[in-house]
Structure 1
């Protein structure tokens, strides 16, 4: 877990949960934007990701470890005694959504970008076939072909990340089955999450996940304040896209409005 403190007096804290296969270093630009805008940032790598992925042949971590990680991240963010925003991207967004379905999270608002509820890219056909054959095949490995080129159309980001050795998409079938179950349970649960402000942003040209499932999930929630934004022409990784400055300003506006509504001077 790492903390980057605001440049000057902080008005709030943002806890960021990244997506599958990646790591916190891919968020350097976003972390600096939040810092320079008066937000402390708390972020780490999901279990089995980042440096921990070097020693692993495939993602096989228990999804319960992801839930425990989110608890630790929020707890670390609350230590500043400032309003906390929880932001999840991709699988990270789905983990936040599922956590909110299970219990209340002490935070001012939630920001969700490109949630994984229905994937458009799947593991290999062999993996899909094996995944229905029971626990004996759980350690069988496959590759989930989610490439940097499919995540963003920003050429500078692509050239920087295309040879990233910490970005690993090798998985076990046990992990893949857990992922499929998480998405199904999260998207179909009928009860609403706790009543807090939610900003959800999706990408019009997302090649990884079907954004219509995310919009439908948000519409089911019985919340006093929701904000939905679909970014035209964008790919999955909104904060890596050529329009990321606009995406950030939109996000910051939402956060400042939340802070005003709870009595903070922005």
Structure 2
């Protein structure tokens, strides 16, 4: 994992947990925006992803959780307020963690969590249950399903580290992992939380996320649905608006904690 220092006096740290199949380099724009606004940033690649990734994802979800625990620990080293930001499956992993145990942080920011997927591998229901755990499944999530930002289409053609092929065993574990988070009867520790939802998400269903959020009974939360935006809200043509909304949330939390922003 890597750390980027804030430009000028830091006011907080943001730990970024990326989505399935991708890598932290896709967040270069967001990382620079955060640094310019006075935030340290820590990020890296989930096991089996990025430059050290595999051709077929078969990592255990426990390995993902262990990695995110280490990422959070690095974020806490500066003794500054910490915000944990998760996107897609990254958000779901953090949700899983905070249901089980309190994380000492100032707030959470989730975008497009994976609790139920709209986009399934071809012939998912009919075929997946018949496949052995080692057989491969192509989730077939293309860049065109993730964002309307045409500038990123060119970059995606040269991205050798994005890969949406997994084993059938991994995909079955994904389904169980999402179900466990969505149906968990307990609640998280009362911590400020912002959830971004894509109004035109081709990948994830937002309804379970909204239900999950209401169930938490938090004293401070924001739920923002971005009309027309696709799944990767921080990659969309409107990403500046999404970022400003996020920065405002973090600054408000810092003020409530007594920090001068």
Shorter-chain TM band: over 0.9
RMSD value over aligned CA atoms? Answer: 1.1
SS at match of 2:41: strand
Distance 2:116 2:142 in 1: 17
Q: Tell me, yes or no, if structure 1 residue 259 matches structure 2 residue 257.
A: no
Deviation at 1:130, TM superposition (A): 4.7
Q: Is the counterpart of residue 15 in structure 1 residue 10 in structure 2?
A: no
- Tell which deviates more after alignment, 211-220 or 147-156: 211-220
Runs of at least 4 residues off by over 3 Å: 127-131
TM-score by length of 2: 0.98
Q: Does 1:132 align with 2:138?
A: no
Alignment check: 8 A CA contact 1:90 1:114 kept? yes
Aligned to 1:174: 169
Which position in structure 1 is the counterpart of 2:97? 99
Q: Which residue of 1 aligns with 2:88?
A: 90
Partner residue of 1:112? Answer: 110
> What residue ranges of structure 1 are gaps of 5+ in the alignment?
none
SS in 2 for 1:29: helix
Segments of structure 2 that go 5 or more residues without pairing to the other structure are: none
For 1:187 and 1:159, the matched residues in 2 are separated by 35
1:46 aligns with 2:81: no
- TM-score, normalization: structure 1? 0.96
- The aligned residue for residue 72 of structure 1 is 70
Distance across 2 between alignment mates of 1:261 and 1:190: 29
Aligned partner of residue 239 in structure 1, secondary structure: coil
Give the corresponding residue for 1:183.
178
How many equivalent residue pairs?
261
| Aligned counterparts of 1:21 and 1:28: Cα–Cα separation in 2 | 17
Task: Look up the match of 1:234.
Answer: 229
Separation in 1, partners of 2:239, 2:145: 16
Distance 1:128 1:52, change over 3 A: farther
Q: Which residue of 1 aligns with 2:245?
A: 250
Question: Counterparts of 2:137 and 2:245 in 1: how far apart (Å)?
Answer: 38
The change in CA–CA distance for 1:81 and 1:209 in structure 2 (over 3 A counts) is same
